[in-house]
């Protein structure tokens, strides 16, 4: 019962043609549809629902909303009540209002991000099918990413003013939506400020993460690849296509994933992410990173902080 996994992310883009080239030809997502107002819908080859990425033409980059899929339609009523009891307004969304989905609920996270929960989305199937499937489909383009893996959202954090939206949204995600806290960063003189958190509903290290910053926004959305060699090849594909690379292939200490970061043509940060890292089982103890070792937590190989990595991101709605 409850939230199963990430469903999709709705990203604002400045140039739709350039965005479709990036997400389609470079990353390898497959376009499944467009609508009358110009939104484009894409999915990874190993995903089965209609889309995991929704691109919306806009005059500024960023994220409109993020959506998670629940197991049963009845879960929407249960979770809607929990959210209201927590003190957050919930809007009922009619079938089809959230594109290609059944009924849904919509609410603002304590961090200021808009989230949807839904139970049903139009089914289109995996590119390799589900009967005697090949390990990958013919005709993959670019990096050939498998699926949308997670998103990292920036939250307002100002300990001097007593503002810590990371801690607020983390508590909400745990107590109301029953996400498990897998890792956290604790900072401050007494190491009592929760500055970043990674949370999961599946057995991966994280299905969503929150990091503190001056304003709320989108830090990145990540796409899954099989292994380290695929991350390296993806970086080659990015370089061949003159994509602006933020971080060349590295390993995270946090989540233990192998990674590379880069920007879409509108300035939204993307990640290719590989490796399970560990099983985020319900009884796994929370992994904590301290301020003096944060460099190794983010970039394990160099052990050095890159200020632009946390200070550059697209602001929220």
- Residues 220, 227, 311, 315: which is the catalytic one? 220
The question of whether 150 is a catalytic residue gets the answer yes
The residue to which tokens 């199963």 are assigned: 4
- Residues 22, 206, 219, 313: which is the catalytic one? 206
Residue 214: strand, helix, or coil: coil
Give the span between the Cα atoms of 166 and 197, in whole angstroms: 7
How many other C-beta atoms lie within 10 A of the C-beta of residue 63?
24
- Residues 47, 65, 252, 313: which is the catalytic one? 252
- Residues 23, 41, 51, 261: which is the catalytic one? 261
- Residues 271, 292, 300, 313: which is the catalytic one? 271
Which H helix or E strand runs over 14? none
Give the span between the Cα atoms of 217 and 92, in whole angstroms: 24
Give the span between the Cα atoms of 56 and 49, in whole angstroms: 19
β-bridge partners, 197: 184, 210
Give the span between the Cα atoms of 209 and 199, in whole angstroms: 6
Number of residues written out for the chain: 317
Give the span between the Cα atoms of 154 and 3, in whole angstroms: 21
The question of whether 252 is a catalytic residue gets the answer yes
The question of whether 146 is a catalytic residue gets the answer no
The question of whether 8 is a catalytic residue gets the answer no
β-bridge partners, 121: 101
The question of whether 175 is a catalytic residue gets the answer no
Sign of CA dihedral 65, 173, 298, 282: negative
The question of whether 300 is a catalytic residue gets the answer no
- Residues 150, 183, 219, 313: which is the catalytic one? 150
- Nearest CA to 67 out of 131, 11, 26 is that of 11
Q: Which residues are catalytic?
A: 150, 206, 220, 252, 261, 271
């Amino acid at each position: 019962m409850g939230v199963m996994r990430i469903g999709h992310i709705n990203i604002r883009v400045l140039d739709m043609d350039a965005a479709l080239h990036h997400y389609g030809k470079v990353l390898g997502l497959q376009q499944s549809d467009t609508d009358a107002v110009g939104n484009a819908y894409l999915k990874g080859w190993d995903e089965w629902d209609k889309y995991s990425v929704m691109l919306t033409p806009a005059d500024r980059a960023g994220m409109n909303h993020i959506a998670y899929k629940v197991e049963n339609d009845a879960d929407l009523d249960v979770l809607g009540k929990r959210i209201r009891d927590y003190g957050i307004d919930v809007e009922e969304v009619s079938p089809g209002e959230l594109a290609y989905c059944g009924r849904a609920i919509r609410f603002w996270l304590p961090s200021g991000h808009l989230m949807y929960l839904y139970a049903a989305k139009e089914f289109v199937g995996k590119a390799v099918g589900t009967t005697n499937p090949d390990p990958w489909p013919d005709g993959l383009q670019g990096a050939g990413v498998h699926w949308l893996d997670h998103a990292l959202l920036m939250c307002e954090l100002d300990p001097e003013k007593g503002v810590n939206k990371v801690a607020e949204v983390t508590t909400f995600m745990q107590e109301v939506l029953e996400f498990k806290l897998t890792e956290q960063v604790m900072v401050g003189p007494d190491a009592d400020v929760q500055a970043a958190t990674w949370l999961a509903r599946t057995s991966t290290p994280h299905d969503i993460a929150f990091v503190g910053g001056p304003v709320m926004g989108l830090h990145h959305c990540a796409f899954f690849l099989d292994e380290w060699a695929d991350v390296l090849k993806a970086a080659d594909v990015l370089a061949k296509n003159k994509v602006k690379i933020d971080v060349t292939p590295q390993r995270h200490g946090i989540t233990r994933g192998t990674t590379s970061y880069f920007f879409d043509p509108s300035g939204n940060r993307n990640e290719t992410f590989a490796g399970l890292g560990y099983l985020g089982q319900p009884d796994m103890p929370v992994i904590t990173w301290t301020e003096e070792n944060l460099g190794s937590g983010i970039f394990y190989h160099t052990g050095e902080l890159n200020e632009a990595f946390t200070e550059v991101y697209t602001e929220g709605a």
